[in-house]
A and B are shown apart, each in its own frame.
Chain A
Amino acid sequence: MGPSSRAWTAGRLLVAGFCWLTAAYACVASSTFASLQFLQPRVFPWVGTFSDWHAAAGWLWLAVAAALSWRDVRRHDVHGRLALGLLTLLAAAVVWNSASPVLPSLAGGTRPLVVAIVAFAIPIGFGTLDHVAVRGCRSLDRPSTTDRTTDESRLFFVAVATALLATALYAVFASVTMAGAFEPDLLTAGLLTGLGWSLADHLWIGCAAFLTLAVIARLASPRPSVHYAAIFATLAAALALAFSRLVGTALGMHGVAGAGVAVAFGTSVVGTWGGLRLRRFAADTPATVPPLDVFFGTAGLAPSPARSALAVGGTIGLAVACAAIARQADWDFVLLKSGVLAVWIAAFGLAHRTTTSRMRVPAWGIALVCAVTLAAQQTMHASVDQRRMLARYEVYNPSFRLAHGLLHDVAATPAFDRFLRANTSVDAALMPVNLEFVASLGPSPQPEKPLIFVFVVDSLRPDYLGSYNRAVRFTPRLDAFAAESVVFRNAFTRFGGTGLSVPAIWAGSALVHKQYVQPFHPMNTLEKLLDVNGYRKVVGRDSIMGRLLDASPRRDELDAGVANMDYRLCGTLGQIETKLASADPAPIFAYSLPQDVHMSRLPATVESGPEYRGFHAPYATKVHAIDACFGHFVDTLKARGLYDRSLIVLTSDHGEMLGEDGRFGHSTHLFPQVIRVPLLVHLPAALARRAAIDVDTLALSTDITPTIYSALGYNPVPANPLMGRSLVAMDATAAAARRREPVVIASSYGPVYAVLQDNGQRLYIADALNGSDLAYARAGDGTWSAAEVTPAERIVSQFLIRQHVDEVSRVFHVDDAPAHHGQH
C-alpha cells in the first residue's frame, strides 16, 4: 500500500482527522462557558466518550500513522530521517497523553489553545514530509505565455461558474425549504430581490477569488515552486480567516493565541491536502501539473456526463446534508456556514475538474464581468423594505447568509463592541460581595413557613403553555395549575443561557459576567434565606448548583448519580413526593433544573398529532410529557393537604429558538424567543390574600428570590439597581417605576447585551460577537417583529448598557481586581 493508493490516502486522512477532532475538542474547551455548559454536562455524550477514550485511541492512531509512514522511514535520506523523527515525537506525545490524559483536563484558558495548535501541527508535520518526498519530482508546471492565458481563462470560467452554481443551487434550496411557510416578505418581489443580491454577492466573491489567484499566477508563475507556495499560502490564509470568522468568533477565541489556532488550522488542512495530492501526482502522473490542479484536480479532456452528473449530485447532497446536520445542533450558524463553505469549495473543485483547459476569455470579457460585479455590489443599497426582504431570504438561503455576511457585516460601532468584549467573561479573580435583601437577616417572623418548590425547566418557552398561548392544546394540567396561580404575563430572564441565569435566580440579582465568583454563598440570597429559616434543601446537584451551594448538613440531593443532561421532571417530582413523606419536621425547599425540553434532548422526529400543528412537534411532545407529571405532583400535594401551604414557582432559565429565522437553540442569542420565560407562581393561601400583584408589569427572573422573601414575611429591599424586586409587593408606585425603567439583559456566553424598554415592548440587541445590532417591537397581541434600529435608539441603548456594565463593576468591585480581562 503506497502513496498512490486510495487506501493509503484514506488512512492518512484518518490520521489527520483524529488530530483535527482533538484540536476541535481543545478549541471548544478553551471557552470557559463551553467547557462548563457543554463539555462537562456532556450535552452530546459522544464528545465525552471521545475525551474518555482519547488516550487509549492514541495508541491505535500511532500504530496507523506508523504503518502508513513505514515506507518513508525506511528511506535512507533526509526524508527518512524526518519521518523517523516525527514518529518518535508522536510516540513520546502518546506516552505522555497516556500517563496524563490531556483532553479531560482542559477547561478554559490558553492551555487548550496550545493543545489545539499542537494537534493541528501534527498533520502539518506529515504534510511537510509529503512535500519533502516529492521534492525533485517534476510535478509542478512552468507554463508558457499561451498556457498562462488559457489557464487564466479556465480559472475565470471556473470562478464564475462556481458563483452561478452556488447561487442556483441555494436558490432552489431556498424555494424548497420555504414551501408551506407564510412569508409575506418573500413573494415575487422579495424572491427576486433576494436572488439578485445573492447573485451579486456570489459573483463578487467569485471574481475576487479569481483575481487573487490570477494575479498570483501572473507574478509567481516564472518560478513554479514560488507559485505553488503562494497558492498554498493564499488558501491557508483564506481558511484561517474563515475559521477565525466562524469558529473563533463563536468561541471567543481572540488575540494572538486565537490567531495562532486559525493559522494552524488553515495550514494543517491545506498542507495535508496538498501533500496527499502531490504524492498521488508524483506516483501516478508523468506529465507536469499546474499548482492549482494540485489542490482542485486536473481537467479531463472530455469529462463523462455520468461522472459530471454524479459530482453535481454529490455537491447537492453535501449541501443538503450540511443543512440537515446544522438543523440538529448548531451554534450561531457555525455548522451551517461551515457547510456552505465546504459546498463552495466542492463546487469550485467540480467546476475545475470538468472545465477543459482549451478556452480563451478575452481580457475585455474578464474586465467587464469583474467591473460590473464590483460596481453592482458597491452601488446596490437596500431600502428599508428590501432589507426586511433580504433578512427573510437569508433564513432560507444559507449560502446567501454567508456571502452577504462576509461582504456586508461591518460592525456599526466597533469601539462599543470592544468595550462589551472587555467586560464579558471576566477572568480576573473576584472576591464575592455580600448581597442582602434584608439588613440583618434573622428567622422569619411568620409562625408557619410555606413549603417552597422552584422548578426551572431548562429552555421552556411561555408560548408552549396554554396559560400564555390559547392555541396550545397540550398542557391541560399546567393550565389548570396556572388557573390556581399567578401568571406573570410579561416575564423575562436576566441572562440568556443557563450559565448565569440560574446563579442570578439564586442571587436575586444581575451578576458580574463571570462563571463563577467563588465562594458564591455571600451572594446567594436565596440560600441564606433558606438556611436562616431551617429549610431542608432538596436540590439537584448539577454542574452549576455544585458551585453555588454551600456545604450544608440540611441538603438532600435530588437525582443523585444522574448526569445533568438526564434530569427529567417526571423522575425528579417522583423523588420529591417520596421525600415529602419523610418524618423530618423541617420545612422543605425543592429545586430542580430538568432538561426535558433542552434542544440536545429533543427527538429528531415525532409522530405529530393535530394538536401540535403550528408548533415544533418534538419540543411540544416533551412539554406535553412534563405536563402530565406536573399535574400528578399537584394532585399529590393536594391529597396530602400541602397545596395551600406551598409556594410553587414554575419558570425557565431562558427560552429557545425553535426554527424562527432558521435558528435553533439559544447560543448567545437574546431574541424575544430566548429571553421571554414563563413565570407561574402558586402562592400559599395566606400570602395570596395580602399580595399586591400586577401581572402585566415586566417581571424578571431575578424577582423570584425577593418574592420568596415576601412569602416568608420579610420586606425585601434591593440594595442596588441590579437586584430584583418582590412580585407580590408590587403596589402602583413600584409597578409604575418598573414599567418605566429600562432593563439590561446579557447573554451568559458572549458579549451580547439587550435593553428592554417600554415595559418590555421594545427590545434592542447589541451583538458584539457579530458586530451587529437589532431591534424588535412587540405588538398589542404579543407578537414580536423585527424593527429598524434608529440612531437615537442605538445611542440611548448603548449608553444604558454602558451604565449597566459600570454598575456591575461598582457592585462587584471588578475594577479593583488585580487583572481584569474579558473576551478581548
Chain B
Amino acid sequence: MESLTRTALLLGLLAAYAAATLRPVLLDGAGRGFDALAPESRFVEHAIGEHRFGDALPVALQLRHAHTGEPLVAYWLATIYQGLGRPADARSAWDDFHRLSGSPDGVNAD
C-alpha cells in the first residue's frame, strides 16, 4: 500500500513538472487566432512592400474586422492610408496601433 501511494505521489509530481514544461508550447499551439504569416497577411505585406496600397486596403480591412485587437493590422492600415494619401485615416489607425500595442506615442514606430 505504501509502495502504491509513493508511486502515485511520484507520478503526480512528474506529471506536474511535465505540465509546467509543456505549458508554453501548448499555449503557443492554442495561438491568438491571428497569424502574421498566413497567406492573407503576407498578401497585405507584399502589397505594402510593392506600394500597391489600393490592393492591400480591402484585405487589411477584412483582417481588422476579424481581429479587432490586433495591433499589427492597425499598423498596416496606418501605413496603407498614409500611402493612399489619407492622413486623417492614417492618424486614426496610428492611434489604434498605439492603444492596442500599449505603447506611448512615437515609440520606434515611425
Q: Please report A residues at the B interface, Cβ cutoff 8 Å.
A: 145, 148-149, 152, 204, 207-208, 211-212, 214-215, 218-219, 363, 366-367, 370-371, 374, 377-378, 410-411, 414-416, 418-419, 740, 757-758, 762, 764, 790-793, 795-799, 802-803, 806-807, 810
Chain A binder among B5-13, B61-69, B81-89? B5-13
For A802, list chain B residues within 8 Å (CB). 36, 45
Tell me, rounded to whole Å, the shortest Cβ–Cβ distance linking A364 to chain B. Answer: 9
Report the separation of the CA atoms of residues A758 and B109 in the bound assembly, to the nearest whole angstrom.
Answer: 10
For A791, list chain B residues within 8 Å (CB). 71, 101-103
For A377, list chain B residues within 8 Å (CB). 20
For A797, list chain B residues within 8 Å (CB). 108
Q: Per a CB cutoff under 8 Å, which of B11, B45, B72 touches A795?
A: B72
Q: Per a CB cutoff under 8 Å, which of B5, B20, B21, B97 touches A363?
A: B5
18 A–B contacts from the bound complex (CB under 8 Å): A204-B17, A207-B13, A211-B13, A218-B10, A218-B11, A363-B9, A371-B16, A374-B20, A410-B25, A419-B37, A791-B71, A792-B109, A795-B75, A795-B101, A796-B75, A796-B109, A802-B36, A803-B45
Q: Per a CB cutoff under 8 Å, which of A363, A410, A416, A807 touches B36?
A: A416
Q: Do A792 and B103 touch (CB < 8 A)?
A: yes
For A415, list chain B residues within 8 Å (CB). 35-37
Q: Which residue of A lies closest to B97 (CB)?
A: A792
For B110, list chain A residues within 8 Å (CB). 740
For A790, list chain B residues within 8 Å (CB). 101-103, 107-108
Tell me, rounded to whole Å, the shortest Cβ–Cβ distance linking A562 to chain B. Answer: 44
Q: Do B45 and A799 touch (CB < 8 A)?
A: yes
Q: Do A414 and B28 touch (CB < 8 A)?
A: yes
Q: Per a CB cutoff under 8 Å, which of B24, B76, B107, B108 touches A410?
A: B24
5 cross-chain pairs, A with B, having the tightest CB-CB distances, nearest first: A792-B103, A792-B101, A211-B14, A410-B24, A791-B101
Most B Cβ at <10 Å: residue of A414, A419, A790 = A790
Q: Per a CB cutoff under 8 Å, which of A414, A792, A799 touches B98?
A: A792
Q: Do A145 and B103 touch (CB < 8 A)?
A: no
For A806, list chain B residues within 8 Å (CB). 45-46, 49
Q: Which residue of A lies closest to B71 (CB)?
A: A795
Tell whether B56 is near chain A: CB-to-CB under 8 Å. Answer: no
Tell me, rounded to whole Å, the shortest Cβ–Cβ distance linking A160 to chain B. Answer: 14
Report the separation of the CA atoms of residues A367 and B35 in the bound assembly, to the nearest whole angstrom.
Answer: 41
Tell me, rounded to whole Å, the shortest Cβ–Cβ distance linking A247 to chain B. Answer: 21
Q: Please report B residues at the A interface, Cβ cutoff 8 Å.
A: 3, 5-7, 9-11, 13-14, 16-17, 20-21, 24-25, 28, 35-37, 45-46, 48-50, 71-72, 75-76, 97-98, 101-103, 107-110
For A810, list chain B residues within 8 Å (CB). 49-50
Q: Do B11 and A215 touch (CB < 8 A)?
A: yes
For B13, list chain A residues within 8 Å (CB). 207, 211, 366-367, 370-371, 374
Q: Do B108 and A757 touch (CB < 8 A)?
A: yes
Report the separation of the CA atoms of residues A799 and B28 in the bound assembly, to the nearest whole angstrom.
Answer: 20
For B9, list chain A residues within 8 Å (CB). 363, 366-367
For A218, list chain B residues within 8 Å (CB). 6-7, 10-11
Q: Per a CB cutoff under 8 Å, which of B20, B25, B107 touches A792?
A: B107
Report the separation of the CA atoms of residues A148 and B6 in the bound assembly, to the nearest whole angstrom.
Answer: 11
* Given known contacts A374-B16, A758-B108, A790-B108, A211 and B36 CB-to-CB distance under 8 angstroms: no
For B37, list chain A residues within 8 Å (CB). 415-416, 418-419
Report the separation of the CA atoms of residues A795 and B101 in the bound assembly, to the nearest whole angstrom.
Answer: 8
Q: Do B36 and A798 touch (CB < 8 A)?
A: yes
